[in-house]
Amino acid sequence: MKRILVIFAGLIFISGYVSAQPNTLTPQEVSEGWKLLFNGENLDGWISVRTQEPPTAGWEVENGVLTVNKGGPKRGGDIITKDQYSDFDLMVDFKITKGANSGIKYFFMRYEKGGWLGLEYQVLDDETHPDAKLGHDNNRLQGGLYDMFAPAADKKDSPIGEWNTARIVSKGTQVEHYLNGQKVLSFDRKSPEYEAALLLSKYIGSEPKFGDVEKGHILLQDHQDEVSFRNIKIKVLK
């Protein structure tokens, strides 16, 4: 009996260890339909917005971590998934450096008027970067919808240099932003509140109307600052 308990405890330890490994999926996640968007080794599945090929500079993969502008700007440019998504649950670990600015965009596509655009989950050093003080009513703070909606005032950002987890859930026109497990924003892309925010944003005048699209790419932004990503995974919602 004692031996069985020891074996059982060992299995629990191994299971926990496996689930904690970056850029892997647990058997439960696989059964639930999650898929990795970053394999921890290279940029398979990602392309540059500018060249439609994986970038040759600016983005580096080391020890299972994807970093843009490590050691200084290298002009790698934004990267997007080859595939497009509509209803989804997306999770991304990210780590910023002091003063950094970046973003995770979704429903990213080329508009008839306005160029390449997408809704942006803001990634930012709120304390240091000047962008935090721009916009309207704190709508450029980390975790919010950039230039549209502010995140919850009681959000809990990890310290600079430590990992945060972003989560974006989109179902129909309903969208939710999470930061480190806390829901920090929810909005409806068809609501009067969204329309009002759009009128005050930099996206007014786009065609089609900004955010009024059925699907688009996932984007990781190169804003010329050093930012790291890992554990990028998505589940298509039905």
Average pLDDT, the chain: 92
Mind listing the pLDDT tens digit of every residue in the chain (238 residues)?
Answer: 555 444 444 544 444 444 459 999 999 999 999 999 999 999 999 999 888 898 888 999 999 999 999 987 777 899 999 999 999 999 999 999 999 999 999 999 999 999 999 999 999 999 999 999 998 999 999 999 999 999 999 999 999 999 999 999 999 999 999 999 999 999 999 999 999 999 999 999 999 999 999 999 999 999 999 999 999 999 999 8
Assign residue 12 a region: left if phi > 0, alpha if psi is -120 to 50, beta otherwise? alpha
Q: How far is CA 26 from CA 23, 196, 231, in A?
A: 10, 42, 12
Would you mind telling me the total number of residues written for the chain in this entry?
Answer: 238
pTM over 0.85: yes
pLDDT digits (tens, 9 = 90+) for 130-149: 999 998 999 999 999 999 99
- Report domain extents, the chain: 1-32, 33-236
Please say whether the structural domain 33-236 has been given the CATH code 1.25.40.10: no
Alpha helices of 176-227 — where are they, by DSSP H? Answer: 192-199
